[in-house]
Amino acid sequence: MKARTSSFRDLVHGTISAPESRYSVTGHTTPQDGPDSASNEKRNKLLSSLMSQYLARDVPAIQRQIVNHVEYTLARTRYNFDNFGAYQATALSVRDRLIESWNDTQQYFTERDVKRVYYLSLEFLMGRYLTNALMNIGIHNQFTDALTGIGFKMEDIATEERDPGLGNGGLGRLAACFMDSLATLNYPAWGYGIRYKYGMFEQRIHNGHQIEIPDYWLTYGNPWEIERLDVTYPVRFYGHVESTGHGFKLTGGEIVRAVAYDSPIPGYDTYNTLNLRLWSAQPAKEFDLTSFSRGDYYGAVSAKEASEKISSVLYPNDSTDAGKELRLKQQFFFVSATLQDVLRRFKKVSRPLTELHTKVAIQLNDTHPTIGVVELMRLLMDVEGMGWTASWETVKKVFSYTNHTVLPEALEKWSVSLMVKLLPRHMQIIFEINRRHLEETARKYPNDGHKLQRMSIIEDGHPKMVRMAQLAVVGSHTVNGVAAIHSGLVSTRLFPDFAKDGYRILNMTNGVTPRRWVQQANPSLSAIISRWIETDEWVVNFDLAKGLEQYVNNADLQREFAESKLENKKRLAATIKKVSGVEVNCNALFDIQIKRIHEYKRQLLNIIGVIVRYNKIKKMSPEERKGVVPKVVVIGGKAAASYVQAKHFIRLINGVSDVVNNDSEIGDLLKVFFLPNYNVTLAETIIPANDVSQHISTAGMEASGTSNMKFVMNGGLIVGTMDGANIEIREEVGEENMFVFGLHTPEIDHARNQLKYGEYKVRDDRLSEAMNQIQSNMYCGSDSSGPIMNSLQPYNDYYLVTRDFSSYMDAMDRIDEAFKDKTAWIKKTIVSVARMGKFSSDRTIREYAEQIWDIEATPFIPGSISYKS
């Protein structure tokens, strides 16, 4: 069990006194030179006294603080004190409390001179802050009572918050779970990313098609962030390289200013509060008065507009040259600002830069931040004056790299010509890194030109490309995959030459935070777990949920699980009714697939299975239909704006939904819904309602997946292939509590060749009928049905939808039979929840801390720091 090092909950609930002072001043003030040292010490003591107490947490005090923010921060009166104003004031009041512990935590880390980990990610899919923060710091009930006392409901206030548009899928949500675990486990850490003005996009559905509109999530500001106008760094693009006689420097070009925006990340049941620092792009020169004076009004603000594009949209469409350039600009912008910030913090204490790795660990979350390897080389050599050898050894000790995919298109490559244009000095450094890397490789493997080609960072061709994944491997001390099977593929398929050459490749199976995904998303299940294992410590040690298993045959526990599931289904049913106007049977089997829309995730297989089920029911007699298990199918996810085939899948799903849901003959036996604009908040409603969830990727293509973990933690069963973390979930919960189907990874290549060359014919009348219906435009027009049908032809079925179809339908039949025995089904869900301890992100973060980052937990205790000027 995780040892709790503070009396945080006791303080919150009033069982111990609040600390007399947050700061200890005796003998700890920073010495100052010159005649002002006495006045500085007096100033420090005064400030310490003024800042000594944490804000009161009783209900009347909270009400005063909320109302004060309404009047003094928002400048509102009681006549326009509406739900949104109440949300803003409540959020600011909670943020005040976070800032207290946040400032103290950072000061504590500084005084202890700890080693920090810096988590670099292009996405942070945080979800709503309010409820999560209140639960983590233990004052949810007090704030609920305070709001009730002034005429507001917490549930109404919470819905006023918009999801931050800072991520798209599993990559960003993993980063958010990791930040929660890092704070909860008291590890010194910072998250770094981009403050996107519009996020990716808001998904709307019009006539069955996905429509993208800007995600104006910042329209009314973000009360959780603090704008740091005093923390800015210049980031230079283009320009040209000049020799200084003893090195090189980049001059000219375009300079963009990176401005920091900080958001506090509270740990659960601890004083420690970490920081998520996001960068916003602003022009170095705000306004060109000369251009304006001569009548060039657009030219006067052109630099501002060009700069701000960098942090406007997550994943701009990179199908054009301009889009590729903007995407690379984004990546360099945020890593350059981050590394300048990291070096500034390190240099506060006088020590050689060759010791950077003793205080700094940098984790690259996927390939996007890899240009940071080169930027740190540039900073160490061109700015700090270090030599190549010392700089390179330092860089390799600092960086580690998480690979999240074996898909070739996700292993970023940039053309050499684009790199030379946008980052000329960095391209020089990349060439030199590659030259030295290949020389060393050639010494080990003489006369093996093919190996050199495979291991080269530069890919020959027209045009020549920079392989960013290779650069990440060469520039890091450790590479890790995110599930056992994926890490094996990283070693054997993705980087086999590097693995054989001794590069360190580890497995770190992903996890999710039970604070967000059980405690917050599923209050009824949370109460059941706490009641039956007689402790709520499972929130920080999910292994304790194992205690449920001893009661699996207890009728009361079974009844409570069933009641909780029904309550969650009713909540989702209300959302479905609001979106679609259709009422659903909450006693039906809820079958859910929510994830980004991609061919390898095989939403197409799912919806073809739905068509087959529809056809089967249509052919039944009324008597036969009495034995059918009613099913509600929910699918959600966004297709990238430029991913045309994924958009066709969305059109098909919506077309099937229209046909099925409007067929009165079918009634409640089958309903199909595509829920638009999938995000964290929607997931918190969908996931607890699942009876079964679909994780059906083509084997060998899903790195891990984390939604599979969330679904099972919330009392659902998986239908899935042996891919990603499904394999490890099966090992934990038992194959009898999953519905496994499909080819396994070693069989995939052979199966593709069989289909491609006509050596294997798929013969299943159900599939043929469904394909004929699609082709006849029964569900969507030819503009979508044509491309879909083309992808299902044997020579094009790369993702093996047709090959796995019969096995998939067998699994669907097994699910139906299992669901008919309600008691046996509930037992399966209880056992599954009880055995999911391995998949807490707390376990994952401990493994990173011990095996990769070499950092130690540093719990802050009030009264243990000095106030430093």
pLDDT in tens, 137-159: 999 999 999 999 999 999 999 99
Active-site hit among 368, 565, 596, 648: 596
Query: Residue 26: pLDDT above 80?
Result: no
Among candidate residues 513, 536, 705, 579, the one with its CA nearest the CA of residue 126: 513
The percentage of the chain sitting over the pLDDT mark of 90, rounded to a whole number, equals 86
Active-site hit among 232, 706, 721, 844: 706
**42 lies in a domain?**
no
**708 lies in a domain?**
yes
The pLDDT value given to residue 285: 74
Among candidate residues 563, 564, 556, the one with its CA nearest the CA of residue 518: 564
Query: Residue 542: pLDDT above 90?
Result: yes
Residues in the chain: 869
**223 lies in a domain?**
no
Residues 341 and 307: beta-carbon distance below 8 Å: no
| For residues 491-516, average pLDDT | 96
* Separation between Cα atoms, residue 638 and residue 354, nearest integer Å: 45
**695 lies in a domain?**
yes
Query: Residue 286: pLDDT above 80?
Result: no
Query: Residue 583: pLDDT above 70?
Result: yes
CATH classification of the domain holding 763: 3.40.50.2000
The pLDDT value given to residue 454: 96
Separation in Å, CA 519 to CA 538, 563, 798: 10, 17, 40
Whether 359 is catalytic: no
**818 lies in a domain?**
yes
Query: Residue 529: pLDDT above 80?
Result: yes
* Strand-by-strand arrangement of the 692-695 sheet: 670-675, 631-636, 589-594, 692-695, 717-720, 738-740
Separation in Å, CA 45 to CA 108, 110, 865: 18, 19, 13
Alpha helices (H) along 115-191: 130-137, 140-149, 154-158, 170-184
The pLDDT value given to residue 190: 98
Query: Residue 16: pLDDT above 70?
Result: no
Cis-peptide into 463, omega within 30 deg:
yes
Query: Residue 835: pLDDT above 70?
Result: yes
CB 444: neighbour CB atoms within 10 A?
Answer: 10
**350 lies in a domain?**
no
Query: Residue 764: pLDDT above 90?
Result: yes
Residues 119 and 191: beta-carbon distance below 8 Å: yes
Q: For residue range 649-669, list pLDDT tens digits in order.
A: 999 999 999 999 999 999 999
* Separation between Cα atoms, residue 509 and residue 704, nearest integer Å: 7
Q: For residue range 354-381, list pLDDT tens digits in order.
A: 999 999 999 999 999 999 999 999 999 9
pLDDT-derived band at 543, boundaries 50, 70, 90? very high
The pLDDT value given to residue 319: 81
Q: Which residue has the higher pLDDT, 2 or 202?
A: 202
**740 lies in a domain?**
yes
Query: Residue 300: pLDDT above 80?
Result: no
* Separation between Cα atoms, residue 498 and residue 502, nearest integer Å: 7
Q: What is the dihedral of CA 13, 16, 17, 18, to 10 degrees?
A: -60
**542 lies in a domain?**
no
Query: Residue 868: pLDDT above 50?
Result: no
pLDDT-derived band at 27, boundaries 50, 70, 90? very low
Whether 595 is catalytic: yes
Residues 610 and 672: beta-carbon distance below 8 Å: yes
Least confident of 63-72, 536-545, 756-765: 756-765
The pLDDT value given to residue 291: 61
Q: For residue range 461-485, list pLDDT tens digits in order.
A: 999 999 999 999 999 999 999 999 9
Whether 648 is catalytic: no
Active-site hit among 257, 426, 601, 651: 601
Residue 785 is part of which domain span? 585-822
Q: For residue range 314-359, list pLDDT tens digits in order.
A: 888 788 899 999 999 999 999 999 999 999 999 999 999 999 999 9
Active-site hit among 357, 359, 368, 404: 404
Q: Which residue has the higher pLDDT, 118 or 169?
A: 118
Alpha helices (H) along 445-554: 449-455, 468-474, 484-489, 496-500, 514, 523-533
Query: Cα 82 to chain center, whole Å?
Result: 32
Active-site hit among 486, 595, 631, 752: 595
26-32's contacts with Cβ under 8 Å and 24+ in sequence apart are 28/865, 28/866, 28/867, 28/868, 29/866, 29/867, 29/868, 29/869, 30/868, 30/869, 32/869
Q: Which residue has the higher pLDDT, 290 or 683?
A: 683
Residues 656 and 611: beta-carbon distance below 8 Å: yes
Mean pLDDT of the chain: 92
Tokens of 745: 């990874």
What is the count of structural domains for the chain?
1
Pairing mode of beta strands 209-213, 413-415: unpaired
Whether 710 is catalytic: yes
Whether 601 is catalytic: yes
Whether 546 is catalytic: no
The pLDDT value given to residue 166: 93
Tokens of 304: 């501002």
Radius of gyration, alpha carbons of the chain: 28
Q: For residue range 260-274, list pLDDT tens digits in order.
A: 999 999 999 999 999
The pLDDT value given to residue 869: 30
Q: For residue range 44-72, list pLDDT tens digits in order.
A: 666 555 555 789 999 999 999 999 999 99
Least confident of 71-75, 318-322, 437-441, 629-633: 318-322
Active-site hit among 97, 197, 710, 828: 710
